[in-house]
Amino acid sequence: MSTDKKAFLDVFPVLADEILGELRKHNMPQDAYDWVKNVSTRAGLVRFRIEPWVCFITTFPVVSTSLVVVHYFYTPFGDHLRITAPALLLTLSSSPRPTLAGKLNRGLSVVDTLRILRGDNITDEELFHARILGWTVEWVSSNCPLPRVLFFARETSSHAITRDPIQLQAFFLVADDIMDSSYTRRGQPCWFRKENVGMVAINDGFILESSVYIILKKYFKKTQYYVELLELYHEVTFQTELGQLLDLITAPEDNVDLSRFSPAKHQFIVIFKTAYYSFYLPVALAMLMAGVKNENAYSQARDILIPLGEYFQVQDDYLDCYGAPEVIGKIGTDIQDNKCSWLVNQALVRITPEQRKILDQHYGKKDSKAEAAVKQLYIDIDIESVYKAYEEKSYTEISAMIAKVDESTGVKKEVFTEYMNKIYKRTK
Higher per-residue pLDDT: 17 or 371? 371
Q: Quickly count: other Cβ atoms within 10 Å of residue 185's Cβ.
A: 18
Active-site choice (317, 334, 339, 416): 317
Does the pLDDT at position 92 exceed 50?
A: no
Of the listed ranges 77-91, 184-198, 297-311, 356-370, the least confidently predicted one is 77-91
Residue 200 has pLDDT above 70, yes or no: yes
pLDDT value at residue 421: 94
What was the pLDDT predicted at 350? 97
Look at residue 180 in the predicted model and tell me its pLDDT.
61
What's the confidence (pLDDT) of residue 16?
A: 79
Classify domain 104-144+232-428 at the CATH topology level: Farnesyl Diphosphate Synthase (1.10.600)
The length of the chain is 428
Task: Estimate the crossing angle of helix 226-250 against helix 281-289, to 10 degrees.
Answer: 180
Give the model confidence (pLDDT) of 20-53 as tens digits. Answer: 888 889 998 998 888 877 663 343 333 333 333 2
Q: Would you state the pLDDT for residue 402?
A: 98
pLDDT of residue 21: 87
Residue bearing the bigger pLDDT, 347 or 81: 347
Residue 74 pLDDT exceeds 50? no
Confirm whether 176 is a catalytic residue.
yes
Q: Is 302 noted as a catalytic residue in this protein?
A: no
At 65, is the pLDDT very low, low, confident or very high (cuts 50, 70, 90)?
very low
- pLDDT > 90 in the chain, percent: 52
Angle at 168 between CA 164 and CA 169, to 5 degrees: 140
Q: Per-residue confidence at 115, pLDDT binned at 50, 70, 90?
A: very high
Is the pLDDT reported for residue 146 higher than 70? no
Per residue, the 3-state secondary structure of the chain, as one string, reads CCHHHHHHHHHHHHHHHHHHHHHHHCCCCHHHHHHHHCCHHHCECEEEEEECCEEEECCCCCEECCEEEEEEEEECCEEEEEEEECCCCEECCCCCCCCCCCCCHHHHHHHHHHHHHHHHHCCHHHHHHHHHHHHHHHHHCCCCCCCCEEEEECCCCCCEEEEEECCCCCCHHHHHHHHHCCCEECCEECHHHCCCCCCHHHHHHHHHHHHHHHHHHHHHCCCCCHHHHHHHHHHHHHHHHHHHHHHHHHCCCCCCCHHHCCHHHHHHHHHHHHHHHHHHHHHHHHHHHCCCCCHHHHHHHHHHHHHHHHHHHHHHHHHHHHCCHHHHCCCCCCCCCCCCCHHHHHHHCCCCHHHHHHHHHHCCCCCHHHHHHHHHHHHHCCHHHHHHHHHHHHHHHHHHHHHCCCHHHCCCHHHHHHHHHHHCCCCC
293 an active-site residue?
no
Mean confidence (pLDDT) of the chain: 78
Least confident range from 108-122, 201-215, 267-281, 368-382: namely 201-215
**Rounded mean pLDDT of 305-322?**
96
What are the residues facing 18 on neighbouring strands?
A: none
Catalytic pick among 177, 204, 316, 334 = 316
For 205-225, how does the pLDDT look when each residue is reduced to its tens digit (9 = 90+)?
787 788 899 999 999 999 999
Q: Is 312 a catalytic residue?
A: yes
End-to-end CA distance of the chain: 19
Whether 317 is a known active-site residue: answer yes
* pLDDT attached to residue 191: 65
103 assigned to active site: yes
Catalytic choice (115, 131, 273, 339): 273
Q: Which of 172, 312, 320, 416 is catalytic?
A: 312
Q: Per-residue pLDDT averaged across 56-67, rounded? A: 34
Give 103's pLDDT tier (boundaries 50, 70, 90). confident
CA distance 299 to 297: 5
**Buried-exposed string 236-267: b where 16+ CB fall within 10 A, e elsewhere:** bbebbebbbebbeebbbeeeeebeebeeebbb
177, 247, 320, 334: the active-site residue: 247
pLDDT for the residue numbered 149: 27
Supply the pLDDT for residue 325.
Answer: 82
Which listed residue (4, 164, 180, 303) is catalytic?
Answer: 180
* Sequence ranges of the domains in the chain: 104-144+232-428
pLDDT at residue 84 in the model: 34
**Count of alpha carbons within 13 angstroms of residue 305, beta-carbon side:** 28
Catalytic residue (choose from 112, 176, 204, 334): 176
Please give the pLDDT value at position 202.
77
| Mean pLDDT computed over 101-124 | 89
Of 179-183, 200-204, 260-264, which range is least confident? 179-183
Q: What's the pLDDT score for residue 185? A: 55
pTM of the model: 0.78
Range picked from 1-5, 124-128, 163-167, 249-253 for highest mean pLDDT: 124-128
